[in-house]
Amino acid sequence: MSLLVVGTVAFDAIETPFGKTDKIVGGAASYISLAASYFTKDIQLVSVIGDDFPDSFLNTLKLQGIKLDGLQIKKGEKSFFWSGKYHNDLNNRDTIDTQLNVLANFDPIVPESSKNCEFLMLGNLVPAVQQSVISQLSSRPKLIVLDTMNFWMDIAMDELKKTIARIDVLTINDSEARQLSGEYSLVKAAQKILEMGPKVIVIKKGEHGALLFNKEEVFFAPALPLEEVFDPTGAGDSFAGGFIGYLAKTKDISFENMKRAIIFGSAMASFTVERFGTEKLIGLTQDQINERVQQFVDLVQFEIS
Amino acid sequence: MSLLVVGTVAFDAIETPFGKTDKIVGGAASYISLAASYFTKDIQLVSVIGDDFPDSFLNTLKLQGIKLDGLQIKKGEKSFFWSGKYHNDLNNRDTIDTQLNVLANFDPIVPESSKNCEFLMLGNLVPAVQQSVISQLSSRPKLIVLDTMNFWMDIAMDELKKTIARIDVLTINDSEARQLSGEYSLVKAAQKILEMGPKVIVIKKGEHGALLFNKEEVFFAPALPLEEVFDPTGAGDSFAGGFIGYLAKTKDISFENMKRAIIFGSAMASFTVERFGTEKLIGLTQDQINERVQQFVDLVQFEIS
């Protein structure tokens, strides 16, 4: 088994300066697994939904080669729901409504066939739940990547730190890196966080790109300057999905290969933000992805003579 | 004559989260000409100061090879003074005091020997004053670069637009690009501004790097992730100085060479912010600059196999 993805599969209602949606499909694991599915077909999804979730989306996931043995469907219960409104600058958003529903008692169960996964992507969730997944595995994966957010730093910092100590790569945004480390400089923040356990940290800066650090090296990947950023929801998860998908495909976890993985992750995120929800992540061609990656190459290409 | 630099030579008093200065030497033209002096020794400075200005700094400029025939020294008058305080994030600042002094009636006089300059760098000033410099030249320079700021967009937009129509490269920051164009997307903003006259626009994003646009191409240069950003004052001007200095040295104004120029500009800015004022721009060695540029190369270097 290659890649195990854990996280939410949920409903979102989103308002941006460009439009508004009713309930549409979202959730970290939806974006992660869709983005990763363009790189490897050996993906298992662990999540929970209610019986209100559309079969059509589950079929879409299956068609993309994503296995759903780890997806619990709770009869008579409702799926997790989040509603938010983005400010004009799209960098900030207000949460309008959060209904935990099935997520309130989520007890992830890793299918037997996935307990020896080589790559584990822990999408944003209660840190204790993320840990319980690691504990269920029969062998230590080649790479564990974890995404989290400021919310858990506010209410469960100790548990979060215990979880972070067990992983290889942490992906968080710049303000979260500052909060977790207590350092304003991202260079210092990264070094302090690396002392907490992870070998690598990815600091996501949204429209300003992403930084990749290990203890000795740093790499910067730009975000693509886009004419239209329609809806930033899921950008970070699509980034994480492209990142771990590329690593799972190439099975090379060197820093050099992580640089490439970050570029593929950034490319997947650049698609996601062009439409509401997961729309743009469905039905992409390999040519479209290669063309997008080439735009990143061109964007930063220069030669000092 | 190679490079003509026009702008303020002034006093600043700066407070950052890391410390506070009394009156120190600053001004756009100080940073620009110092940064450019590492690339070409054929620089003429056009500015105005009072008789309160320290000879030691003027000698420093001369030692760096900067000609001061165009520097007016007004007897019995005081130099321009600005005082500001940076917020904790260093991206925002409050102006505490502005004393125009000699700048109130600045009438720049281009020395005869510089009227045929090949490269003209117009630092931030009243747009009408920037225009008067262009009008004094005996021949159209190979390249005119102009820096400006939101203040002139607020109070002299028409005059600014007339000035912008006469130049080749405009350097402004992201919020100024949005204000000037009325577009939030930087891609759209750049295209709209290019229709106003310039062939190239550089959008400076501070710690988030810089974007270079012409009508067909885009290039992104990162900022170096620094452990300490001590004082951001003069970063944009040092960037502009390194940019035009490199172009004046190589005499190549192709888009490809402008990419290199942006990297050298970013390197010069990365030195400036490490100390208060112009301190770090004095006495740099070519090895230090090359080493810094190599850090930019390494920072974004990746290969898609």
Q: How far apart are CA A6 and CA A28, in angstroms?
A: 8
Residue B245 DSSP label: H
Residues whose CB falls within 8 Å of the CB of residue A127, separated by 6 or more in sequence, listed in order: A148, A152, A156, A159, A160, A162, A163
Which of B187, B294, B299 has the CB atom closest to A227's CB atom? Answer: B187
pLDDT the model gives residue A227: 86
Q: How far apart are CA B22 and CA A257, in angstroms?
A: 49
Q: Answer yes or no: do B260 and A226 touch at CB < 8 A.
A: no
Q: Answer yes or no: do B225 and A220 touch at CB < 8 A.
A: yes
Q: Answer yes or no: do B260 and A222 touch at CB < 8 A.
A: no
ipTM: 0.89
Domain range list for chain B: 3-8+28-49+108-300
> Other CB atoms closer than 10 Å to residue A175's CB: what's the count?
11
Which of A89, A220, A256 has the CB atom closest to B222's CB atom? Answer: A220
Per-residue pLDDT in tens (0 to 9) along chain A, 305 residues: 699 999 999 999 999 988 899 999 999 999 999 999 999 999 999 999 999 999 999 999 999 999 999 999 999 999 999 999 998 777 788 999 999 999 999 999 999 999 999 999 999 999 999 999 999 999 999 999 999 999 999 999 999 999 999 999 999 999 999 999 999 899 999 999 999 999 999 999 998 999 999 999 999 999 999 888 889 999 999 999 999 999 999 999 999 999 999 999 999 999 999 999 999 999 999 999 999 999 999 999 998 86
pLDDT the model gives residue A230: 85
Q: Chain B partners of A242 at a C-beta cutoff of 8 Å?
A: none
pLDDT per residue over B256-299, tens digit each? 999 999 999 999 999 999 999 999 999 999 999 999 999 999 99
pLDDT the model gives residue A1: 63
pLDDT the model gives residue A249: 97
Q: What is the mean pLDDT of residues B55-72?
A: 97
Residues 89-128, chain A: which have Cβ within 8 Å of B?
89
Q: Chain B partners of A218 at a C-beta cutoff of 8 Å?
A: 225, 299
* Cβ atoms of residues B34 and B271 within 8 Å: no
DSSP B10-25: EEEEEEETTEE-SSEE
Q: How confident is the model at residue B1 (pLDDT cuts 50, 70, 90)?
A: low
Phi, psi of B143 (to 5 degrees): -150, 130
CATH 3.30.565.10 holds for B3-8+28-49+108-300: no
A295 in reach of chain B (CB within 8 A): no
> How far out from the chain centre does Cα B1 lie?
20
B6 sits in which H/E element: strand B3-6
B302 in reach of chain A (CB within 8 A): yes
Q: Chain A partners of B297 at a C-beta cutoff of 8 Å?
A: 304
Q: What is the mean pLDDT of residues B87-91?
A: 79
Going by C-alpha positions, the residue among B258, B301, B189 that lies closest to residue A226 is B189
Topology of domain A3-300 in CATH is UDP-N-acetylmuramoyl-L-alanine:D-glutamate ligase (3.40.1190)
Q: Answer yes or no: do B260 and A302 touch at CB < 8 A.
A: yes
Which of B228, B259, B302 has the CB atom closest to A185's CB atom? Answer: B228
Q: Chain B partners of A226 at a C-beta cutoff of 8 Å?
A: 185, 187
Report pTM.
0.93
Alpha helices, DSSP H, located in chain A: 28-36, 55-63, 127-136, 150-155, 157-164, 174-181, 186-194, 235-250, 255-272, 286-300
Residue of B186, B220, B230, B257 to mutate, interface with A, max A Cβ within 10 Å: B220
Q: Which amino acid is at A250?
A: T
Going by C-alpha positions, the residue among B280, B281, B207, B276 that lies closest to residue B16 is B276
Which of A188, A229, A263 has the CB atom closest to B302's CB atom? Answer: A263
